[in-house]
Every structure is written in C-alpha cells, then in structure tokens.
A and B are shown apart, each in its own frame.
Chain A
C-alpha cells in the first residue's frame, strides 16, 4: 500500500547547525511507524516540517500522493491528517467536552462516543485542562485524534511522563487507528511501549533517518543497540 505521508530528503539548518540532512518521515496506511532518536536529533523538527509549521532548507513533502511545496496544517487536516504535539494540545479555557464539540462541529462524522468510551474520559468531560493530570490530558488529546478518525496521525512523544495503564490505553487507541487504516508516526524515548506498538522502526541519528525494520530487527541492530539502547535489550517480554 502506498504511503499517505512522505517527507523526503529533508534538510534543515538552524543558524550554522544542520539539524537534518537528507532525513525522511513516512506514514503508511494501517501501520504504526516509530521514530526513535536522541534528544535534539530532529524528531520534532521533521514532524513540524511535515505539517508545515517549519520550512525545510530543502526537501519535499508528499501527502496522499500530492507534492506540497508549502504544506499547511489546516489544509492537511481537512484531508485527514491529525497532529499531536509533544507539549500541551488542549486549550486551557475550554473543557474536554467543548474541545470534542468543536471537533464534532467541524467533522460531523467524528466518532466521539467511541473515543470517550475507549479512553475512559466520561468523568473528565466537563473539566478544563489545568485541572487534569498529565495522563488525563493526554488521554483527552488522543481521544480527539481517535474521534477524528484521521488518515494519518503524527504524535510527538505521546507516552512521555505517563503511567503504565495510560500508556497501555493509548497504545490500544493507536492500534485501533492503525487497524482502521490510519498511518501513524509516533516518536519518543519509551522504547518498550513504542516497540510494542510499532510495525516499522526508524532511527534518527546524525541528522538522517534509518529504517531499522520491524521491532525485532531494531532490537537486533548492533549500532542502534550500542548508541541508542546503550547495549540493553528493550521490549522483550
């Protein structure tokens, strides 16, 4: 199956420093791609380039087969992309219910009830983000993505700072989206849950992206083990 999103040969320079050189980002329908890499390796940068929040120094972005010289998130969103940033996504002045209502207003086909049930959000519906814990807020954010039923989801560090039960809940939500045909890209440092959710693993290092293959292939990749996992084997049950 063809890719829903591809950012190819991306280069990005901040001042004199090249953060990305010939890096790539790919989302394939029905598959979960995981992008791993050290802090500052450029994971967030390439996600932001893919949605048009940053302009690359060079490279191209292709969404649903169309090359976009100047991608813009609102246009991509209408065509089925959803982006979850690593920092807060919900707006402090609106309750979870109001966020979901705004989504349903814009996309009447949104599966709000299913998302609420799946992520167990009913008790928090009328609360505003400042009164939610980090895990509750992240569940609400993923519920918005789940309700949207996107063709492509880019989630930057979705598991960061969450307790294991929340991680499992979100991983299940991501698997459900993939089963529905969505192409997902997840980033982060939580190797165990990320590899458990992944179909394809990419490693971002030295400004570029390497496809390591399946989670099993990634665990067996010596350089990846040595430089990123510090010689430990993660994610084995």
Chain B
C-alpha cells in the first residue's frame, strides 16, 4: 500500500480529525448527545459506525473537491489508501471516547 508523503498524510489526518470533531460538536449542540459525562453512551454502536462512515465520506469528498485525490492518484496512491487515512482518526477517537468515558 502506497502512502503519500508526510505533509499530505498529516494534512489528510488533520482534516479527518476536524471533520470528526465538527460532527461530534454538532451532535452535542443539536442536543443529540448529553453535554456532560457519559456522552459516548448516548451513541449506540450502530450510530458510532454511521458517524465514522459519514466522517470518512466527507473526508474523501473533500479530498476530491480540493484535487488532492487526483494529484495523489498520479503518484500511485489509491482511493483505498485515502479511505484508510480518512477512517483512521474517527475510528481511533471513537475508541478513545469509549475508553475514557466508560
């Protein structure tokens, strides 16, 4: 599996993190999650999977919008590699939330 160089990788991971953060924050402000401790309990495992999927799709969409996906494709970086980078932060952070809160 071919990964982009560090600058591109860091930028993609950072964007995936920001998208996850934005969605989590939006959920809190929309009242779908309690603002206090125990927030992770408010999301069922299925909802968490949906959230990760949405984060991934939005990150991939942004990579396409900004042209990074095409540029990286010219360097031999496949969409599945970008998907891995996009899914990573949301997955790790959801696990972290689960471990810290529960």
Contacts and interface: CB of A to CB of B under 8 A. Distances in A.
* Interface-centre pick from A75, A90, A98, A106 (highest chain B CB count, 10 A): A106
Interface residues of B, number: 19
Nearest to B4: A102
Interface stretch (B18-26, B35-43, B70-78, B91-99): B70-78
Contacts of A93: 11, 66
B66 A74 contact: no
Contacts of B74: 73, 77, 82-83, 144, 148
Contacts of B73: 73-74, 77
Contacts of A90: 67, 71
B70 A106 contact: no
B70 A94 contact: no
A85 B79 CA distance: 18
A103 B67 contact: no
Given A85-B70, A91-B71, A102 B76 contact: no
Contacts of A206: none
A65 B61 CA distance: 34
Nearest to A144: B74
Interface residues of A, number: 26
Nearest to B74: A77
B78 A74 contact: yes
A222 interface: no
Contact of A91 (B5, B66, B79): B66
A72 interface: yes
Interface in A25-41: none
Given A74-B73, A102-B5, A105-B5, A88 B67 contact: yes
B77 A74 contact: yes
Contacts of A74: 2, 72-73, 75-79
A109 interface: no
A143 to B, nearest CB: 13
A77 B67 contact: no
Nearest to B15: A93
Interface of B: 2, 4-5, 7-8, 11, 66-68, 70-79
Interface of A: 72-75, 77-78, 82-83, 85, 88-94, 98-99, 101-103, 105-107, 144, 148
